């Protein structure tokens, strides 16, 4: 088994530079492997809200699993204090019936990302300008990025398209968090210094970025 694992890692390392949670990439793999039309992530929308209410209340759950030796051996971890609760604000943490959709199984952890190599090695020798990468299929939608080169260096990566997995036919969790304020989100165009969002490192993202940087090497802007 260890040999199999090791060979998987060797395989992955030879082709891919991308370092990321293999589970996350794995999920993408699972989607891709199922092929178009497979009821992967989107099957969630078919489930009624409130299905499978097998959620234990957070406050009363017991943490008793022993960690494996590999985790407990290094640097003894001090026992943790109980969760700190904000004293002046009673926290609504009822046992929630969280809908748990059926989804694709875990995919194998190793995979090859050849496109990433180009991106990883490309620190210099670009021509200034903005370059759109190709629109790449992320299975659950399209991905496209734009590389902005200044002073021969990659200055920023702008995401032009990414899959928007939007489902509207869902009941708002009105009973779940009665004390926390809610609002409907709306797009803003306010000026900011940087943006916080989920990590962009899917295979489709890397592929589009690699395409943009290839153009940057040639200096052929397509904007």
Partner 1 sequence: MRETRIIMGMPITIDIVGVEDSRLHELAFGHFDAVDRRFSTYKADSEISAINGGELEPPDYSDEMREVLALAETTRWETDGYFDVRKPDGSIDPSGIVKGWAIRNAARLLRAAGAMDFFVDAGGDIESSGSNAEGGAWRVGIRHPFDPQAIVKVIYPRGRGVATSGSYVRGQHIYDPHRPGQTVTDIVSLTVIGSDVLEADRFATAAFAMGSAGIGFVESVRGLEGYSIDAAGIATMTSHFEALTQP
Q: In the range 48-107, which residues lie near partner 1 by CB under 8 A?
A: 54-56, 58, 61, 63, 65, 67-75, 77, 80, 83-86, 89, 91-93, 96, 98-106
Instruction: Tell the smallest beta-carbon distance from residue 48 to partner 1 (Å).
Output: 12
Question: What span, in angstroms and rounded, lies between the C-alpha atoms of 61 and 55?
Answer: 10
d(CA 65, CA 174): 33
Question: Where in 193-222 is the site for partner 1 (CB under 8 A)?
Answer: 193-202, 205-206, 209
By CB under 8 A, the count of residues binding partner 1 is 118
The CB-of-65 to partner 1 minimum distance in angstroms stands at: 7
Give me the least distance between CB of 206 and partner 1, in Å please.
7
The residues facing 212 across adjacent strands are none
Distance, CA of 131 to CA of 222 (rounded, Å)? 6
CB nearer to partner 1: give 201 or 221. 201
Q: How far is CA 140 from CA 32, 39, 112, 176, in A?
A: 9, 11, 20, 29
Q: How many CB atoms lie within 10 A of CB 115?
A: 23
Q: Which is nearer to partner 1, 98 or 127 (CB)?
A: 98
């Amino acid at each position: 088994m260890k040999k199999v694992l090791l060979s998987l890692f060797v395989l992955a390392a030879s082709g891919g530079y991308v370092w990321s949670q293999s589970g996350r990439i794995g999920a993408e793999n699972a989607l891709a492997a199922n092929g178009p039309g497979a009821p992967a992530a989107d099957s969630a929308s078919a489930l009624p809200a409130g299905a499978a209410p097998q959620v234990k209340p957070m406050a009363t759950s017991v943490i008793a699993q022993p960690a494996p030796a590999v985790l407990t051996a290094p640097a003894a971890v001090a026992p943790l204090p109980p969760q700190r609760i904000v004293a002046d604000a009673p926290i609504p943490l009822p046992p929630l019936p969280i809908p748990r959709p059926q989804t694709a199984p875990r995919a194998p952890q190793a995979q090859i990302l050849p496109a990433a190599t180009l991106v990883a090695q490309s620190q210099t020798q670009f021509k200034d300008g903005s370059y759109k990468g190709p629109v790449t299929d992320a299975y659950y939608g399209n991905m496209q990025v734009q590389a902005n080169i200044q002073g021969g260096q990659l200055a920023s990566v702008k995401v032009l398209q990414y899959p928007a997995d939007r489902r509207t036919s869902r009941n708002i969790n009105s009973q779940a968090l009665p004390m926390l304020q809610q609002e409907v989100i709306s797009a803003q165009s306010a000026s900011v210094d940087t943006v916080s969002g989920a990590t962009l490192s899917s295979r489709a993202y890397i592929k589009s970025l690699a395409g943009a940087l290839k153009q940057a090497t040639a200096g052929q802007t397509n904007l």
